[in-house]
């Protein structure tokens, strides 16, 4: 194993576990956000934080 592969494997060991969608507390209505930006005639990246926040929802689900 060369040095680059060793560093890669070490970085994988340090990486946290993936987060499942059911564990996420905030969700984003991406379809609605993209449609809003399209209707406004701008890119999603050009929307203000408050405009993006309008399409964000806090989930009341708790992880098991």
pLDDT for 64 beyond 50: no
Give the chain's radius of gyration (CA, Å).
19
Residue 63: pLDDT band by 50, 70, 90 thresholds?
A: very low
d(CA 23, CA 25) in angstroms, rounded, equals 6
Q: State pTM to two decimals.
A: 0.53
Task: Tell me how far the alpha carbon of residue 13 is from its chain's centroid.
Answer: 22
Query: What residue spans define the domains of the chain?
Result: 26-64
pLDDT tens column, 5-60: 999 999 999 999 988 877 878 888 889 999 999 999 999 999 999 999 888 877 66
- What is the pLDDT at residue 58? 75
């Amino acid at each position: 194993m060369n040095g680059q592969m060793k560093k890669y494997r070490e970085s994988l060991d340090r990486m946290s576990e993936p987060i499942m969608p059911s564990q996420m507390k905030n969700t984003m209505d991406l379809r609605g956000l993209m449609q809003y930006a399209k209707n406004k005639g701008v890119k999603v990246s050009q929307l203000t934080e408050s405009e993006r926040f309008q399409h964000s929802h806090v989930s009341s689900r708790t992880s098991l």
